[in-house]
Amino acid sequence: MRNMMIALTAVLVVALAATDVMAQGRGGRGGGFGGRGGGGGQMGAIRLLSVEKVAQEIGLTDEQSAEIREFAQEQRGSRPQRGNFRDMTDEERQKMRDERAAQQTEQQKAETEKLAKILDEGQLKRLEEIKLQIQGAGALLVADVQSKLGLSSETVSALEKAAAKNREEMMSLFRSGDRDGFREKATEMRASMEKEMLGLLTSTEQEQFTAMQGEKLDVSMQDLMGGRGQGGQNARGNRGNRGQGGRPQRDGGSELE
């Protein structure tokens, strides 16, 4: 039963990660770095760096992992206590949402600056590509992505409406308690959302968005939920690969899949 709930939660996390950027506003840089160890519901850089496949892909070293882990712990320690949401008035709830959104913006800014000091240019570029892959069409809600693609205000509005509709449908499905059919339905809903949102782009915009994601990295929901605890031995990268995307090599020189 516990494994089933973990699997169901994983589907919801990945699906909602594609739409949660709306709740944080559209003024952030590059979607911001949210996830575990930082603010934001989207799958962010700090969280992605705890996934072993991602850490290996960018050539993350033990030293870098230690720095990131220390920063993530500092960020967690700076979070304010959460009040009892159920006992609050509507005004108090809105105030809390606004305060959390402001705090998330500050955390995202701090994380962006910190990672720019820890990772090299090639690692940052590859990490951003992987982040876009994980976010999927949800990345189209991010102001920086919209700017790079040159999306019109009409397209942005249509994307936001499609994402909001999917979010409500996903939450309704989750609240229904239909554990047996949740995973399949949630996967279908996310695929439908991806198709709908990508369909709002022109063919040129679609090609540009695909190019921004770089080479595909096979990361499963199990990988995303499991993490790697930051700084494990398997994360040890080769500093010689840094600045070139950080792809680690097997013995014999072949690239890791």
- Taking only the tens place, the pLDDT of each residue in 54-79 is 999 999 999 999 999 999 888 877 66
- Taking only the tens place, the pLDDT of each residue in 2-50 is 554 444 444 444 454 544 444 444 443 333 333 333 333 345 788 889 9
d(CA 247, CA 257): 10
Where do the domains of the chain lie? Answer: 2-235
d(CA 131, CA 174): 25
pLDDT value at residue 224: 81
d(CA 147, CA 151): 7
Q: Is the pLDDT of residue 132 over 80?
A: yes
d(CA 209, CA 150): 11
Do residues 39 and 103 lie in contact, with contact meaning Cβ atoms separated by under 8 Å?
A: yes
- Taking only the tens place, the pLDDT of each residue in 167-210 is 888 888 878 777 777 778 888 888 999 999 999 999 999 999 99
d(CA 213, CA 34): 18
Q: How big is the chain by its Cα radius of gyration, in Å?
A: 19
